[in-house]
């Protein structure tokens, strides 16, 4: 039975129009609205409390929201009775007053609360994290380009980096448009998206390289389409199982993991799309051909010996 190949690249201009709209929207939002930085980047108050019995995290969040701290980040640490609460910076209030307020709000329940400590996290730490995170992204893209140049060819390197930049900007754009809190966990997720998207792109590029060497007389467009069709089942299975885990994490992982899992969900969807359309279309526009991927044969040197 012959399975008809789907002509993915016949939709490339439509896909590019969608990418252009998403990129423009993301860039405009990032420029004028910016991101909504979390306490990791802005600084704020960190309050540690201990309960007499293991508390329910969601009940603590509800109590704090009712008490005037809707943005509070609540996480367990140490034992099941120890809770860390992080609050965004507030004017004309110190860390001791914040700690007392939190203790008073939580002591309204039957589960007694003891304040263990409260401190102010300097915004300088956030500035350092922002700088280091940006440098990590830049270094990652540079290393990826160098790797692909050696592994494949410079046209493929440009295609891969264009796809990665596309994925990162759109993922960050979603957080900017909807003003979802952008913290260190989200930054880590975006770096993970770079790795995931690159892996998907490398699989497609590897098959394109093989087919260029096996089908030298075929047109570039046909070879790329064939390569995508040969890898699409692997892409769907990998992305599908990854998304299944991420949606589970998003639904039952709690508020502290929402941003992390949401960034990965967006990144996996966009990364899968970009490996099919953005990376391959970029390579097509750069006019890659079988000549670019021909193996260089070394000539034997005649040393005059029999």
- pLDDT (tens digit per residue) in 129-167: 667 767 777 787 788 778 777 777 788 888 888 998 999
In this structure, the answer to whether residues 116 and 129 fall within a common structural domain is: no
In this structure, the answer to whether residues 27 and 141 fall within a common structural domain is: yes
Distance between CA atoms of 223 and 212, rounded to whole angstroms? 7
What number of other Cβ atoms are within 10 A of residue 45's Cβ? 25
Residue 263, pLDDT score: 94
In this structure, the answer to whether residues 26 and 51 fall within a common structural domain is: no
In this structure, the answer to whether residues 142 and 14 fall within a common structural domain is: yes
SS3 36: strand
Burial 53-87 (b: 16+ CB within 10 A, else e): eebeeeebbebbeeeebeebbbebeeeebbbbbbb
User: What does the angle CA 79 – CA 85 – CA 86 come to, to the nearest 5 degrees?
Assistant: 140
In this structure, the answer to whether residues 247 and 138 fall within a common structural domain is: yes
Residue 245, pLDDT score: 93
The stretches of the chain forming alpha helices (DSSP H) are 12-32, 39-42, 57-66, 95-106, 123-151, 154-177, 184-214, 220-252, 258-276, 278-285
Residue 304, pLDDT score: 52
pLDDT digits (tens, 9 = 90+) for 266-293: 999 999 999 999 999 988 888 877 666 6
| Residue carrying structure tokens 């960034």 | 263
Residue 136, pLDDT score: 76
Among the candidates 121, 142, 172, a domain finishes at 121
Distance between CA atoms of 114 and 204, rounded to whole angstroms? 56
Task: Look at residue 306 and tell me if it is in a domain.
Answer: no
In this structure, the answer to whether residues 133 and 109 fall within a common structural domain is: no
Distance between CA atoms of 126 and 83, rounded to whole angstroms? 22
In this structure, the answer to whether residues 264 and 157 fall within a common structural domain is: yes
Full residue range of the structural domain in which residue 68 is found = 44-121
Among the candidates 92, 121, 150, a domain finishes at 121
- Return the CATH number at 75: 3.30.70.3400
Residue 4, pLDDT score: 63
In this structure, the answer to whether residues 178 and 201 fall within a common structural domain is: yes
Residue 98, pLDDT score: 82
Low-confidence ranges of the chain (pLDDT < 50): 1-2, 298-299, 301-302
pTM attached to this predicted model: 0.79
SS3 74: strand
Residue 28, pLDDT score: 96
Among the candidates 71, 89, 121, a domain finishes at 121
Residue 54, pLDDT score: 85
Domain count within the chain: 2
- Return the CATH number at 273: 1.20.1640.10
Distance between CA atoms of 56 and 250, rounded to whole angstroms? 18
| Residue carrying structure tokens 């998403």 | 22
């Amino acid at each position: 039975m012959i399975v008809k190949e789907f002509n993915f690249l016949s939709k490339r201009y439509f896909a590019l129009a969608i990418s252009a709209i998403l990129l423009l929207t993301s860039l405009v939002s990032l420029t004028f609205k910016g991101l909504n930085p979390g306490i990791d980047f802005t600084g704020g108050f960190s309050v540690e409390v201990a309960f007499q019995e293991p508390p329910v995290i969601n009940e603590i969040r509800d109590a704090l929201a009712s008490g005037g701290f809707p943005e509070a980040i609540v996480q367990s640490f140490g034992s099941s009775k120890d809770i860390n609460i992080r609050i965004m910076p507030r004017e004309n209030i110190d860390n001791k007053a914040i700690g007392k307020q939190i203790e008073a709000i939580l002591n309204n329940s039957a589960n007694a609360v003891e304040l263990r400590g409260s401190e102010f996290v300097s915004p300088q730490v956030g500035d350092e994290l922002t700088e280091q995170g940006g440098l990590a992204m830049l270094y990652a893209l540079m290393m990826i380009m160098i790797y692909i140049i050696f592994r494949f060819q410079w046209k493929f390197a440009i295609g891969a980096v264009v796809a990665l930049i596309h994925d990162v900007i759109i993922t960050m754009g979603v957080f900017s448009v909807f003003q979802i809190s952008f913290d260190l966990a989200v930054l880590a997720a975006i770096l993970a998206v770079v790795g995931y998207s690159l892996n998907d792109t490398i699989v497609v590029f590897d098959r394109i390289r093989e087919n260029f060497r096996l089908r030298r007389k075929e047109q570039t467009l046909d070879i790329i389409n064939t390569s995508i069709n040969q890898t699409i089942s692997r892409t769907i299975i990998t992305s599908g199982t990854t998304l299944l885990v991420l949606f589970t994490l998003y639904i039952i992982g709690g508020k502290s993991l929402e941003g992390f899992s949401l960034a990965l969900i967006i990144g996996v969807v966009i990364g899968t799309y970009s490996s099919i359309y953005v990376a391959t279309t970029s390579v097509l526009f750069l006019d890659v051909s079988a000549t670019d991927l021909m193996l260089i044969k070394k000539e034997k040197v005649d040393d005059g010996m029999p």
